[in-house]
């Protein structure tokens, strides 16, 4: 009997095989279909295996050592509850993206730059989650980063893509460096690189602090934690849309996995103040991410910024879980961690859906700029419907799935007055407020994203002539939209499915939800809090159809089309509509003056002059300007100065060598 | 048998909120008119308006989509469900555990989401201005509301509205600073959410600072009737919410029996009347503020709510 883990590794090998094979055939016509069909098949098979494992034998741990990599270590792989859950996210994302790619990939101008790396990227993400020693982990991590970097650079001649790729490469290397140091510290003086050894040794407080900071830098930069997020809104949109979906929906989750693996598993018992850092960064990330998304008029960049927000929400829940775990409040920790993992799953579903929708719009109109779109609901009815579902879900509105995980996070916040530390007591309500603020802003952001893109009148000829996209893309989006609703109305199923992860990481779990009457979810007790998505959905559906039925039957069902009323001022051109920039003007005034140093300048020519009046909006990326510009400036300055060293005479070079020798000798002499 | 009775009471509550909602708005209008020494329309004018609108033909803008036509029913349904989940005269009804206070707030958020989209559907600048301002107001009012929910939940130990109401009705509450802050904050939020003076003026159609009326400008006939009814329901919802949490006297439990139900309904109607008079007096006494003063107003509500929650985190007895 071959074990699950072995099958998974064979699956990864098959993905790598597809990757190599696709190099050979990528210039043929059929290549796109073949490769995506193959990745779809493999990912779907892996998805079925891990899902059935989570249902049948969730707590079982299996491990394999392969004679690969460094000869005296080998490559360790391990499958436990946590990695099983994340493999579900990875392989479901892989399968659905491949399905979408079957249709979307046909419009690809350079398939040979996408196909090999696509399969390799999927293999890399699987390997990261399976790896069980530092060497295999870092190797897979770097492999995943490079494969995704290649995908970002697929259209390298397009404007700004090269810069996006460069910044991504720098940030990814920086992140891997931080993780390398973190694992180096955890492996201790003996230098045992397997996760098992790290788990059993534990770390001193000083080491634990350093590891926390390094993991936040390493995993956080990949996930998009502020202030390490700068590459994300550049790189994610630059890739082809289905890869953007994979990067935003799945790769950021692999980074979350790395964080959970280190903080909850390898590092042993957390300290309470480590949760303060995580909570603070999470809250900051959530609000700044969504504010940036609001200011954006490029649809894909908006989605990328919204990913940052969701990562913030996940990290807030993780911070709460750390705080509860450190204080021995197991059930509350299980609640918070469930909220985090539920949001991981949710975000991977609806963010893929939304990126697919953006890809469909891009295919149909060639535009990512919302100011050139509009009115697509008439031309692309199916895409607009599923995009609407995704928008409602990501805005955390019932009865869809996004609301359930937010609700669980709020319930976790409400358990925190029992925490003994004052620092946490004072901080958590503020973080809860930030969470609520980011949820409200997310709704505003997606009213804008959907409203400007799909509603109103077309703002360009391209939007006017848009056509609905192919059936594979629509099918993929429909599956995801259905899952948004399904996870929203049957959240108990997901919570129960997640419980083995809590059991293995915390040793505690939420109460069994599927046993509750009417399939409600009850985190603690019904008298305290409960939510039933199914009934809410049914009630809304029934009362809406009842109202429509009664009115149409007994009152009137007549209707007539006519020109829009608009208070008697007919707007002749679509340019008079609200745009993406003007829609957020009130929010920019409220939050932007502080968060982005946003300024508006109005120039009105004197009476009689024929010059147009102008409104200039100035928005700063404060993080980039305060953290990154000084660094790039300093590096630029240093290289400029060092450049002189290339143009010295031979005498000066010899002097330099001599001085260097002298100083080395001095150091040797003075060294104790 | 017990189930049938329970379902009847739940149904009665749904019917009650639906029936009383237009009356409350009519009552506020009447009191306002009296305060301005006008005669004012009759109390049942909102019912007549609704019936008239429902019988009329709908005129749709040329490029209105299916979303525009579905939205009135959706927001009506979401608001109605939310209103029916709030204890009006009895706590612990059959379906009261379907959604807790956080979910009720979020349900109203769903309704607003669709209304804001409908405002943008036709593509006129009026619709855009309404939606744009509505989401700005919501982005401050919603977190304030959630923080108020946090305060209540921390005091009562639950986010379940029936539990909160019974706890507030018991003698265990006492006077608390945090509850006072929550009360002020929730009134401010309710004013903003229901588009009342000083945030928005429900009586105008042609004013540059209008918000709610600008979004629904393109609606007519039965669609407009649904939107209006949802707005009536929302006002009733907030009044019921505030009264069931802060003035929970007269509430009975679900198993009390018909006589107590009758008494409790009378008490509920009394509370609505008092709230209606207070609202009318407040609206008559205040002037509408500039739209960019609204963030200050709501920011104050947000800070009050945050302070209340913070106090509770620091000490459970404050």
Residues A332-364 pLDDT 10s: 999 999 999 999 999 999 999 999 999 999 999
Q: Where are the beta strands (DSSP E) in chain B?
A: 58-61, 90-91, 252-253
pLDDT at A348: 96
pLDDT at B1: 67
Which of B99, B150, B295 faces A414 most closely, judged by CB atoms? B150
Lowest mean pLDDT among A571-575, B114-118, B273-277: A571-575
Inform me whether the C-beta atom of residue A387 falls under 8 Å from chain B C-beta atoms.
no
- Which residues of chain B have a CB within 8 Å of the CB of A397? 106, 109-110, 113
Integer Rg of chain B from CA: 19
A134 and A62 belong to one structural domain: yes
- CA of B156 vs chain A CAs: smallest distance (Å): 9
- Which residues of chain B have a CB within 8 Å of the CB of A531? 98-100, 102-103
pLDDT at B33: 94
Contact A522, A516 (CB under 8 A): yes
A616 and A651 belong to one structural domain: no
Considering only alpha carbons, which residue of chain B is nearest residue A535? B98
The span from the CA of A550 to the CA of B110, in Å, is 23
A611 and A467 belong to one structural domain: no
Which of B65, B135, B147 faces A433 most closely, judged by CB atoms? B147
Q: Do B222 and A555 lie within an 8 Å CB cutoff?
A: yes
Domain ranges of chain B: 2-314
In angstroms, the first-to-last Cα distance of chain A is: 61
Residue A182 lies inside a defined structural domain of this protein: yes
Q: Which residue has the higher pLDDT, B60 or B259?
A: B60
B292-298 — which CB contacts under 8 Å span 24+ positions?
B292/A586, B292/A589, B294/B136, B294/B137, B294/B192, B294/B199, B295/A589, B295/A590, B295/B136, B295/B140, B297/B188, B297/B192, B297/B198, B297/B199, B298/B137, B298/B140, B298/B141, B298/B144, B298/B188, B298/B189, B298/B192
The span from the CA of B123 to the CA of B62, in Å, is 11
- Which residues of chain B have a CB within 8 Å of the CB of A600? none
The span from the CA of A221 to the CA of A490, in Å, is 33
A2 and A137 belong to one structural domain: yes
Q: Which two tokens stand for residue B263?
A: 């008494």
- CA of B301 vs chain A CAs: smallest distance (Å): 12
User: For the residues A53-82, what does the mean pLDDT come to?
Assistant: 87
The percentage of residues in chain A with a pLDDT greater than 70, rounded to a whole number, is 100
A153 and A17 belong to one structural domain: yes
Residue A302 lies inside a defined structural domain of this protein: no
Residue matched to tokens 């007895």: B317
If you count residue pairs, one on A and one on B, with CB atoms under 8 Å apart, how many are there? 286
Does the pLDDT of residue B254 top 80, yes or no? no
User: Please, what's the largest Cα pairwise distance for chain B?
Assistant: 59
Does the pLDDT of residue B173 top 80, yes or no? no
How many Cβ atoms are within 10 Å of A205's Cβ, its own excluded? 8
Residue A337 lies inside a defined structural domain of this protein: no
Q: Which residue has the higher pLDDT, A469 or A59?
A: A469
Q: Do A585 and B132 lie within an 8 Å CB cutoff?
A: yes
Does the pLDDT of residue A283 top 90, yes or no? yes
- Angle at Cα B94 formed by Cα B93 and Cα B97, nearest 5°? 85
Grade residue A442 by pLDDT with cuts at 50, 70 and 90. Answer: very high
Phi, psi of A558 (to 5 degrees): -80, 140
User: What distances in angstroms separate CA A574 from CA A451, B114, B118, B125, one per listed residue?
Assistant: 14, 22, 17, 9
Averaged pLDDT score across all residues of chain A: 92
* DSSP SS3 for A614: strand
- CA of B35 vs chain A CAs: smallest distance (Å): 30
The span from the CA of A128 to the CA of A258, in Å, is 8
Does the pLDDT of residue A521 top 80, yes or no? yes
A8-12 — which CB contacts under 8 Å span 24+ positions?
A8/A46, A8/A49, A8/A50, A8/A79, A8/A87, A8/A126, A8/A130, A9/A64, A9/A66, A9/A77, A9/A130, A11/A42, A11/A45, A11/A46, A11/A49, A11/A126, A12/A123, A12/A126, A12/A127, A12/A130
**For an interface test with A, which of B18, B48, B95, B97 has the most A Cβ atoms less than 10 Å from its Cβ?**
B97
Closest CA to A443 of A488, A474, A487, A406: A406
Inform me whether the C-beta atom of residue A376 falls under 8 Å from chain B C-beta atoms.
no
- State the DSSP string of A55-89: HH-TT--EEEEES-SSTTT-EEEEE-HHHHHHHHH
- CA of A294 vs chain B CAs: smallest distance (Å): 11
The span from the CA of A288 to the CA of A307, in Å, is 11
Local structure of residue A568 (DSSP, 8 states): G
For the ranges A271-275, A373-377, A573-577, the maximum mean pLDDT occurs at A373-377
Closest CA to A502 of A658, A341, A302: A341
A615 and A489 belong to one structural domain: no
Residue A647 lies inside a defined structural domain of this protein: yes
Grade residue B175 by pLDDT with cuts at 50, 70 and 90. Answer: confident
Lowest mean pLDDT among A94-98, A159-163, B93-97: B93-97
Q: Which residue has the higher pLDDT, A562 or A528?
A: A562
Grade residue B206 by pLDDT with cuts at 50, 70 and 90. Answer: low
Does the pLDDT of residue B176 top 60, yes or no? yes
For the ranges A56-60, A316-320, A552-556, the maximum mean pLDDT occurs at A316-320
Does the pLDDT of residue B91 top 80, yes or no? yes
Beta pairing, strands A599-603 & A559-562? unpaired
A366 and A475 belong to one structural domain: yes
Which of A374, A527, A544 faces B163 most closely, judged by CB atoms? A527
Give the domain range for residue A57: 1-187
How many Cβ atoms are within 10 Å of A7's Cβ, its own excluded? 14
Closest CA to A436 of B245, B211, B150: B150
* DSSP SS3 for B170: coil
A70 and A105 belong to one structural domain: yes
Q: How many domains would you assign to chain A?
A: 4
Q: Do B125 and A426 lie within an 8 Å CB cutoff?
A: no
Examine the fold and report which residue of A486, A520, A549 is the final residue of a domain before the chain moves on: A549
Residue A224 lies inside a defined structural domain of this protein: no
Residue A325 lies inside a defined structural domain of this protein: no
A616 and A633 belong to one structural domain: no
Inform me whether the C-beta atom of residue A103 falls under 8 Å from chain B C-beta atoms.
no
For the ranges A311-320, A327-336, A613-622, the maximum mean pLDDT occurs at A311-320
A521 and A636 belong to one structural domain: no
Does the pLDDT of residue A435 top 80, yes or no? yes
Does the pLDDT of residue A1 top 60, yes or no? no
pLDDT at A338: 95
User: For the residues A502-516, what does the mean pLDDT come to?
Assistant: 86
The span from the CA of A228 to the CA of A232, in Å, is 9
Q: Do B74 and A411 lie within an 8 Å CB cutoff?
A: no
Lowest mean pLDDT among A218-232, A414-428, B61-75, B118-132: A414-428
Lowest mean pLDDT among A91-95, A514-518, B9-13: A514-518
Lowest mean pLDDT among A422-426, A548-552, B144-148: A422-426
- CA of A257 vs chain B CAs: smallest distance (Å): 29
A412 and A468 belong to one structural domain: yes
How far, rounded to the nearest angstrom, does the alpha carbon of residue B196 sit from its chain's CA centroid?
Answer: 11
- CA of A233 vs chain B CAs: smallest distance (Å): 23
Integer Rg of chain A from CA: 27
How far, rounded to the nearest angstrom, does the alpha carbon of residue B183 sit from its chain's CA centroid?
Answer: 15
Does the pLDDT of residue A529 top 90, yes or no? no
- Which residues of chain A have a CB within 8 Å of the CB of B128? 456, 577-578, 582-583
CA atoms within 13 Å, Cβ hemisphere of A128: 33
Contact A377, A455 (CB under 8 A): yes
Contact A351, A394 (CB under 8 A): yes
A615 and A637 belong to one structural domain: no
CA atoms within 13 Å, Cβ hemisphere of A363: 26
- Angle at Cα A93 formed by Cα A89 and Cα A97, nearest 5°? 180
User: For the residues A186-201, what does the mean pLDDT come to?
Assistant: 84
pLDDT at B208: 64
Averaged pLDDT score across all residues of chain B: 90
Grade residue A543 by pLDDT with cuts at 50, 70 and 90. Answer: very high
Q: Where are the beta strands (DSSP E) in B230-308?
A: 252-253
* DSSP SS3 for A118: helix
């Amino acid at each position: 009997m071959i074990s699950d883990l072995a099958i998974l590794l064979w699956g990864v090998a098959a993905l790598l095989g597809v990757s190599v094979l696709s190099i050979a055939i990528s210039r043929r016509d059929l290549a796109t279909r073949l490769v995506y069909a193959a990745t779809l098949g493999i990912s779907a098979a892996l998805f079925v295996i891990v899902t059935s494992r989570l249902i049948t034998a969730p707590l079982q741990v299996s491990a394999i050592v392969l004679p690969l990599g460094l000869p005296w270590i080998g490559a360790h792989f391990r499958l436990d509850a946590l990695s099983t859950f994340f493999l579900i996210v990875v392989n479901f994302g892989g399968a659905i993206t491949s399905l979408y790619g079957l249709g979307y990939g046909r419009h690809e101008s350079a398939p040979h730059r996408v196909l090999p790396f696509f399969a390799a990227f999927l293999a890399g993400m699987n390997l990261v989650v399976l790896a069980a020693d530092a060497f295999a982990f870092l190797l897979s991590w770097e492999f995943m980063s490079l494969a995704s970097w290649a995908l970002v650079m697929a259209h390298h001649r397009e404007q700004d893509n090269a810069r996006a790729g460069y910044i991504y490469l720098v940030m990814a290397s920086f992140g891997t460096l931080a993780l390398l140091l973190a694992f180096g510290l955890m492996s201790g003086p003996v230098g045992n690189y397997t996760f098992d050894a790290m788990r059993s040794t534990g770390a001193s407080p000083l080491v634990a602090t350093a590891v926390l900071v390094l993991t936040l830098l390493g995993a956080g930069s990949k996930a998009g934690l502020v202030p390490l997020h700068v590459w994300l809104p550049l790189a994610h949109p630059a890739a082809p849309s289905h890869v953007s979906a994979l990067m935003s929906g799945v790769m950021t989750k692999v980074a979350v996995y790395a964080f959970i693996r280190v903080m909850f598993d390898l590092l042993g018992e957390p300290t309470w103040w480590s949760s303060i850092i995580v909570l603070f960064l999470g809250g900051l990330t959530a609000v700044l991410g969504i504010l940036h998304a609001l200011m954006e008029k490029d649809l894909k960049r908006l989605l990328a910024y919204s990913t940052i927000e969701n990562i913030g929400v996940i990290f807030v829940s993780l911070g709460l879980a750390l705080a509860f775990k450190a204080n021995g409040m197991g059930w509350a920790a299980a609640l918070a961690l469930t909220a985090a993992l539920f949001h991981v799953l949710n975000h991977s579903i609806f963010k893929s859906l939304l990126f697919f929708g953006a890809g469909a719009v891009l295919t149909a109109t060639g535009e990512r700029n919302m100011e050139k779109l509009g009115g697509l609901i008439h031309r692309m009815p199916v895409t607009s419907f599923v995009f609407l579902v995704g928008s409602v879900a990501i805005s955390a509105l019932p009865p869809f799935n996004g609301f359930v995980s937010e609700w669980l996070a709020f319930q976790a916040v409400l358990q925190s007055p029992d925490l003994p530390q004052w620092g946490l007591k004072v901080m958590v309500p503020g973080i809860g407020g930030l969470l609520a603020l980011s949820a409200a802003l997310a709704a505003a952001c997606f009213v804008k994203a959907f409203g400007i893109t799909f509603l109103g009148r077309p703002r360009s000829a391209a939007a006017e002539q848009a056509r609905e996209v192919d059936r594979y893309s629509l099918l993929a989006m429909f599956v995801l939209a259905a899952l948004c609703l399904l996870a929203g109305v049957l959240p108990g199923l997901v919570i129960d499915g997640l419980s083995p992860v809590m059991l293995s990481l915390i040793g505690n779990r939420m109460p069994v939800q599927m046993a509750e009457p009417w399939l409600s979810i009850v985190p603690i007790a019904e008298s305290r809090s409960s939510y039933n998505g199914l009934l809410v959905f049914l009630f809304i559906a029934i009362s809406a159809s009842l109202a429509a039925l009664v009115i149409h039957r007994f009152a009137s069902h007549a209707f007539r089309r006519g020109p829009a009323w608009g208070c008697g001022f007919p707007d002749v051109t679509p340019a008079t509509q609200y745009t993406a920039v003007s829609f957020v003007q009130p929010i920019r005034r409220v939050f932007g003056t502080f968060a982005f140093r946003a300024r508006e300048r109005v120039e009105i020519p004197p009476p009689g002059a024929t010059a147009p009046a102008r409104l200039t909006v100035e928005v700063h990326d404060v993080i980039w300007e305060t953290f990154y510009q000084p660094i790039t400036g300093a590096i630029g300055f240093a290289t400029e100065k060092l450049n002189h060293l290339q143009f010295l005479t031979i005498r000066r070079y010899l002097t330099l060598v001599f001085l260097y020798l002298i100083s080395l000798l001095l150091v040797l002499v003075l060294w104790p | 048998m017990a189930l049938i009775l329970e379902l009847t009471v739940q149904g009665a509550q749904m019917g009650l909120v639906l029936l009383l909602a237009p009356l409350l708005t009519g009552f506020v209008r009447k009191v306002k008119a009296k305060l301005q020494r006008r005669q004012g329309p009759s109390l049942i004018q909102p019912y007549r308006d609704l019936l008239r609108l429902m019988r009329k033909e709908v005129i749709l803008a040329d490029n209105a989509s299916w979303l525009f036509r579905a939205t009135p029913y959706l927001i009506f349904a979401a608001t109605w469900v939310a209103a029916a989940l709030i204890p009006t005269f009895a706590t612990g009804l059959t379906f009261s555990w379907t959604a807790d206070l956080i979910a009720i707030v979020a349900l109203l958020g769903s309704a607003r989401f669709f209304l804001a989209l409908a405002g943008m559907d036709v593509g006129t600048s009026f619709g855009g201005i309404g939606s744009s301002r509505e989401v700005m107001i919501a982005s401050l009012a919603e977190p304030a509301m959630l923080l108020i929910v946090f305060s209540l939940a921390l005091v009562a130990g639950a986010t379940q509205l029936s539990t909160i109401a019974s706890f507030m009705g018991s003698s265990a509450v006492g006077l608390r600073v945090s509850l006072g802050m929550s009360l002020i904050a929730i009134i401010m939020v309710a004013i903003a959410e229901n588009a009342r003076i000083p945030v928005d003026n429900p009586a105008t159609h042609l004013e540059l600072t209008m918000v709610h009326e600008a979004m629904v400008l393109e609606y007519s006939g039965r669609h407009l009737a649904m939107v209006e009814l949802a707005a009536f329901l929302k006002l009733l919802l907030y009044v019921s919410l505030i009264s069931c949490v802060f003035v929970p006297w007269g509430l009975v439990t679900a198993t009390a029996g018909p006589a107590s139900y009758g008494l409790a309904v009378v008490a509920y109607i009394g509370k609505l009347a008092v709230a209606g008079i207070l609202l009318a007096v407040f609206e008559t006494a205040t002037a509408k503020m500039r739209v960019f003063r609204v963030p200050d107003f709501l920011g104050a509500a947000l800070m009050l709510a945050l302070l209340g929650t913070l106090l509770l985190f620091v000490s459970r007895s404050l």
